[in-house]
């Protein structure tokens, strides 16, 4: 799993935040547009693109894009 | 004679292996009905079967999205006094990430199976006069909507529309058709982890009655609609939501 590709897939679940603003260090829960809709879209994206089906409660402690990437990566292995 | 009794009635329940379907089958048997229960999962269907009260019930394992399995079910059916369409799926999925297969799967199970089952029992003359057809729909798509449920909402509101025309067409034979629109019901589907526990708790508190419904409570509404107590009730959508859509 490529980090750049993961960041792009992550970023495309947002409408108002520019894709270029996203890095592995982005604390996505602090974004203005963060909502339960983005949260669901991200879970769906991870399921579709990486065949990893995270439960909302597993995503709860995750704060940064990197933490999410690591979580998904650990499930792929 | 108790107007809520189902004694002497033969009732088909789909999706009987768990949740609302299982509770419905059990309640109907307790009210005196003879059950034909069907579902995809054989071990869990048998588990429901063993929980039924009374005798002469039948279990038929079938995946009704497949034409041959649906045909086999129809062939084995006796004359029915009621059908309870419970089988259904829900998966939280935003539309922007929904693909064609997701749409087909949800519409197939939630909408097309009940439509084809109704069509086939009719064409094969499996319904007694005065039979009652029940479709387990949802508040979602009919009385409100949720994010991540567009196709589900479409499938459920389609059921209510279908039911109304069926109610009109079958009224001359005294056959009734009704929907039940439940709010969130505590079932395994809900507890599978696809919704976070904290979100569930918050959502529960949005219900004026401060809890989700129980499968047995939907089953009670089913018994009501199957029974002679509702002989003059057809084409209706029975709201069962702990007051959720009042607000």
With CA atoms as reference, the chain A residue closest to B98 would be A44
Domain count, chain A: 1
Residue B9 has pLDDT above 90, yes or no: yes
Q: Please indicate if any CB of chain B lies within 8 Å of the CB of A60.
A: yes
CB atoms within 10 A of CB A54: 19
Q: What is the pLDDT of residue B196?
A: 79
Residue A77 has pLDDT above 90, yes or no: no
Q: Which residues of B touch A60 (CB under 8 A)?
A: 196, 198
pLDDT tens per residue, range B50-75: 999 999 999 999 999 999 999 999 99
Query: Catalytic amino acids of B?
Result: 152
Q: Roughly what angle, to the nearest 10 degrees, separates helices B67-76 and B113-123?
A: 40
Q: What is the pLDDT of residue B192?
A: 74
The confidence band for B189, taking pLDDT boundaries of 50, 70 and 90, is: low
ipTM value of the model?
0.88
b/e per residue, A25-51, with b = 16+ CB within 10 A? ebebeeeeeeeeebbbbbbbbbeeebe
pLDDT tens per residue, range B112-151: 999 999 999 999 999 999 999 999 999 999 999 999 999 9
Q: Quick check: B9 and B81 in contact, CB under 8 A?
A: yes
Compute the distance between CA of residue B104 and CA of residue B101 in angstroms, rounded to an integer.
5
Least confident of A65-69, B48-52, B103-107, B193-197: B193-197
Q: DSSP states of chain B as a string?
A: --TT--TT-EEEEESTTSHHHHHHHHHHHHTT-EEEEEES-HHHHHHHHHH--SS--EEEE--TTSHHHHHHHHHH---EEEEEE---------GGG--HHHHHHHHIIIIIHHHHHHHHHHHTT-EEEEEEEEEE--SBTTTB--TT-HHHHHHHHHHHHHHHHHHHHHGGGT-EEEEEEE--B-STTGGGSSS-HHHHHHHHTTSTTSS-B-HHHHHHHHHHHHSGGGTT--S-EEEESTTGGG-
pLDDT tens per residue, range B74-86: 999 999 999 999 9
Q: Which of A41, A45, A57 sits opposite B196 (nearest CB)?
A: A57
Rounded to an integer, the average pLDDT of A64-71 is: 97
Q: Which domains does chain B have, with CATH numbers?
A: 10-240 (3.40.50.720)
Rounded to an integer, the average pLDDT of B217-231 is: 98
> Which CATH number covers residue A25?
1.10.1200.10
Domain that holds residue A50: 3-76
Measured in angstroms, the CA of B192 and the nearest CA of chain A are apart by 9
Q: Which of B97, B99, B196 sits opposite A56 (nearest CB)?
A: B196
Best of B94, B98, B99, B202 to disrupt the A interface (most A CBs within 10 Å) is B94
pTM of the model: 0.94
Rounded to an integer, the average pLDDT of B10-38 is: 98
CB contact under 8 A, A41 and B94: yes
Q: Quick check: B56 and B34 in contact, CB under 8 A?
A: yes
């Amino acid at each position: 799993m490529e980090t750049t590709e993961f960041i792009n897939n992550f970023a495309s679940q947002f409408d108002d935040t520019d894709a270029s603003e996203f890095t592995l260090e982005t604390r996505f829960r602090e974004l203005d547009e963060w909502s339960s809709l983005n949260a669901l879209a991200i879970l769906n994206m991870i399921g579709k693109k990486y065949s990893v089906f995270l439960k909302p409660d597993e995503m709860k402690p995750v704060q940064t894009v990197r933490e999410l990437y690591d979580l998904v990566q650990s499930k792929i292995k | 004679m108790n107007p809520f009794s189902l004694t002497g009635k033969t009732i088909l329940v789909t999706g009987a292996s768990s949740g609302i379907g299982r509770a419905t089958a059990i309640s109907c048997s307790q009210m005196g009905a003879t059950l034909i229960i069907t579902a995809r999962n054989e071990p869990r269907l048998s588990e429901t079967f063993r929980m039924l009260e009374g005798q002469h019930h039948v279990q038929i394992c079938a995946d009704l999205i497949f034409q041959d399995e649906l045909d086999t079910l129809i062939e084995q059916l006796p004359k029915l006094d009621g059908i309870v369409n419970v089988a259904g799926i829900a998966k939280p999925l935003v539309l922007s990430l929904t693909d064609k297969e997701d749409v087909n799967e949800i519409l197939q199970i939630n909408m097309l199976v009940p439509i084809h089952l109704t069509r086939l029992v009719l064409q094969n003359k499996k319904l007694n006069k005065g039979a009652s057809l029940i479709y387990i729909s949802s508040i979602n798509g009919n009385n409100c909507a949720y994010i991540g449920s567009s196709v589900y909402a479409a499938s459920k509101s389609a059921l209510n529309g279908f039911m109304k025309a069926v109610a009109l067409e079958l009224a001359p034979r005294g056959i009734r058709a009704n929907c039940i629109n439940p709010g969130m019901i505590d079932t395994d589907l809900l507890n599978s982890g696809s919704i976070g526990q904290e979100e569930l708790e918050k959502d529960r508190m949005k219900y004026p009655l401060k809890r989700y419904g129980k499968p047995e409570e939907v089953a009670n509404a089913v018994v009501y609609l199957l029974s002679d107590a509702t002989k003059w009730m057809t084409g209706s959508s029975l709201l069962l939501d702990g007051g959720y859509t009042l607000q």
